[in-house]
Amino acid sequence: MDTAPAVGGGRGGAGVEEQQEVAELPQLLLFAPPSPPFLGLLAKSFRLLKPWEEESMSTQQFLTTQAQSVRALACIGLFQIDSEILRCLPSLQLVVATSVGVDHVDLAECRRRGIAVTNAGPSFAEDCADLAVGLLLDVLRRISAADRYVRQGLWPIKGDFPLGSKLGGKRVGIIGLGNIGSEVAKRLEAFGCNISYNSRKKKPSVAFPFYSNVHDLAANSDVLILSGALTKETYHIIDRDVLLAMGEKGVIINVGRGALIDEKELVRCLVKGEIGGAGLDVYENEPDVPKELLVLDNVVLSPHKAALTPESIAASGKMAVANLEAFFAGKPLLSPVKDE
């Protein structure tokens, strides 16, 4: 938006023109402050409604008094967009999520109302895949544990550190072969791993072996990597039986959502040595992490940051703006969340 004063106009005239230009921009509702660069992108094209700035009223009061005509909502991070919020927005037609997973959005209510939902698409795929492979390498080669061993001065006292395990040649089962899972597979193929996968449907263009049953995939894998979405169908898709099917040397990596795994059973299996190790970026009750995991040398923990780098955050912001601009221009959305 050009904010320079009009030729021959005074400061006051320019202010009126600027206000008129802002008023003509489409409204966009935000529920949490975005990063300054993202906020700058949004402010260029949209008139932003920011409930958190209105200290004199509750969010519900704000929505019912100032957001009744809002057609688009940008969901920053994992802010919960539930049915109660949606009921307060009778004109809403689009929810733009800045994340890949949308389990924090009431998709059923959106479908019922005909509200379109978009996500970050492939914005985070490469960086998330990088960390998934990093976690796997760390667990197998015991990098973090070896680092602690050296820092604690145990090498000259206890001697050589126990050997880790080779990545090349491992049978890796990927649960959720979407943008992230496909990038994981690409990276692990370069290491010489044998890839197979589980997904809602077999992908005709994918040559990897497909398992419709997660238990069977686990029984034929040395490693399971979770990169799929959390839905009613995938909640605790990794239960005790699946974990035990991997065997005592099996390793599980989760960069999807914490509740894909029955966390209590995972802790129990790790403590008892019934599986070989885990690399976890996500947990069932974030930011709380089971204390039993904190003392296990065969577990590597990350604070839900797999997807986040300055580059990926910038890409997701651009994707969100592109989806919004497409919506208001009556063009196809770039990364729509499809019905399950």
Catalytic site positions: 257, 286, 304
C-alpha closest to that of 250 among 277, 225, 227, 270: 277
SS3 73: strand
Question: Cα 64 to the chain's mean position, in Å?
Answer: 30
> What six digits make up the tokens of 203?
């992908």
210-239: burial string, b at 16+ Cβ within 10 Å, e else: ebeebbebbbebbbbbbbbbbbeebebbbe
C-alpha closest to that of 125 among 76, 174, 81: 174
Burial of 209 (0-12, 13-18, 19+ CB in 10 A): middle
For residue 159, the one-letter residue type is G
Beta strands at 277-280 and 251-254: parallel, antiparallel or unpaired: parallel
SS3 99: coil
Distance (Å, rounded) from C-alpha 248 to C-alpha 120? 37
Distances (CA, A) of 207 to 177, 199, 274: 12, 14, 32
* R_g of the chain, CA atoms, integer Å: 24
The answer to whether the beta carbons of residues 124 and 104 sit under 8 Å apart is no
